[in-house]
């Protein structure tokens, strides 16, 4: 019988009720993990957990507000009560609501509330979950923490400076976590998606905007949530047992080429012969 890459492991996935988090929760469960699907949207978490159970896996749904440390502590405690330990933490939840991202525009006009809202969930919330999970990982002899960052954490952009800066902070938090707890056999890495075309992302962008971005992706297709889930699964597994403190892009190469790449391709395509 084929064993999954994380067979018998216990995982928490925050933001697990939709999109990337859902894909990661499902893939971890399909590879043998028992998963606590944590989300502020309890209905979404229940839907994902039910789907995992229907597919023969093990999962529970937990409501959590990452802006409230007491809520985070209760979510972690509920996971321990149900499963007894925590081996894998995927800090995936972020404040990417449509209103938040639309208001996160010019630095010259930045509302401090918008800035704080990005850091409250994306950074402070990630810290809270890590803070409350790490002692359980230490007690269990180690574990793997995977933080969802973003390609924009490495690059300048014309929009979303609060989101970008918050994800750069997640990169720093990743390396600090790996450094502080490595000798306790806890690994910590970050995965940086590019544009993952969830239904939410598609609804927020025009076809022209999507094409403008897609022409800079090195691979000949759009990114999907399972692309990120595959990277998370690998980092969670023993196959990545000596990988820690790494900031790993899973973006089809969009952030790692010369800025004139797409124009050069167009020029070559237009050349005769």
**What DSSP line would sit under 98-151, residue for residue?**
HHHHHH---GGG--HHHHHHHHIIIIIIHHHHHHHHHHHHHHHT-EEEEEE--G
User: At residue 269, does pLDDT exceed 60?
Assistant: yes
Which pLDDT belongs to residue 203?
81
The DSSP H or E segment spanning 187 is strand 186-193
261 is catalytic: no
Supply the mean pLDDT for the chain.
96
Least confident of 99-113, 241-255, 256-270: 256-270
Contact 36, 11 (CB under 8 A): yes
Q: State whether residue 60 is helix, strand or coil.
A: strand
> What is the percentage of the chain residues whose pLDDT exceeds 70?
99
Catalytic member of 129, 163, 174, 227 = 163
8 Å CB contact between 191 and 244: no
Say what the pTM is: 0.96
pLDDT digits (tens, 9 = 90+) for 172-220: 999 999 999 999 999 999 999 999 977 767 787 899 989 999 999 999 9
Burial 235-264 (b: 16+ CB within 10 A, else e): bbbeebeeebeebbbbbbebbeeeeebeee
Domain ranges across the chain:
8-201+222-257
Whether the pLDDT of residue 123 is over 70: the answer is: yes
* Per-residue model confidence as pLDDT tens digits over 65-91: 999 999 999 999 999 999 999 999 999
Backbone angles phi, psi at 266, to 5 degrees: -60, -40
Give the pLDDT of residue 199.
77
According to the model, what pLDDT value does residue 2 have? Answer: 54
Spatial distance between the Cα atoms of 42 and 8, rounded to a whole number of angstroms: 25
CA angle (202, 206, 208) in 5-degree steps: 125
Q: How far apart are CA 5 and CA 233, in angstroms?
A: 8
Mean of pLDDT values over 19-45: 98
Instruction: Kindly tell me if the per-residue pLDDT of 27 is higher than 70.
Output: yes
Q: Above 50 in pLDDT, residue 1?
A: no
**Which CATH number among 1.20.1250.20, 3.90.79.10, 3.40.50.720, 3.40.50.1100 corresponds to the domain 8-201+222-257?**
3.40.50.720
Q: Give me the pLDDT at residue 55, please.
A: 98
The radius of gyration computed from the CA coordinates of the chain, to the nearest angstrom, equals 19
């Amino acid at each position: 019988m084929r064993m999954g890459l994380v067979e018998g492991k216990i995982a928490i996935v925050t933001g697990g009720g939709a999109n990337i988090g859902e894909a990661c929760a499902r893939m971890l469960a399909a590879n043998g993990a028992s998963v606590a699907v944590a989300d502020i949207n309890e209905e979404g978490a229940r839907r994902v957990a039910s789907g995992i159970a229907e597919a023969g896996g093990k999962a529970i749904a937990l409501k959590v507000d990452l802006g409230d440390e007491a809520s985070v502590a209760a979510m972690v405690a509920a996971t321990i009560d149900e499963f007894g330990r925590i081996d894998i933490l995927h800090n995936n939840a972020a404040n990417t609501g449509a209103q938040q991202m639309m208001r996160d525009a010019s630095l010259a006009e930045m509302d401090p509330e918008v800035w704080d809202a990005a850091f409250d969930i994306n950074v402070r919330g990630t810290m809270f979950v890590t803070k409350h999970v790490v002692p359980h990982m230490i007690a269990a002899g180690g574990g793997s923490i995977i933080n969802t960052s973003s390609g924009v954490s490495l690059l300048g952009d014309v929009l979303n400076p609060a989101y970008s800066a918050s994800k750069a902070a997640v990169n720093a938090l990743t390396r600090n976590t790996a450094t502080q707890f490595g000798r306790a056999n806890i690994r910590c890495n970050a995965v940086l998606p590019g544009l993952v075309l969830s239904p939410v992302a598609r609804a927020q962008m025009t076809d022209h905007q999507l094409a403008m971005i897609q022409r800079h992706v090195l691979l000949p297709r759009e990114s999907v949530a399972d692309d990120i889930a595959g990277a998370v699964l690998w980092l969670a597994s023993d196959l990545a047992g000596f990988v820690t403190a790494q900031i790993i892009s899973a973006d089809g190469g969009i952030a790692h080429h010369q800025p004139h790449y797409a124009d050069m391709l167009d020029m070559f395509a237009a050349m005769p012969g």
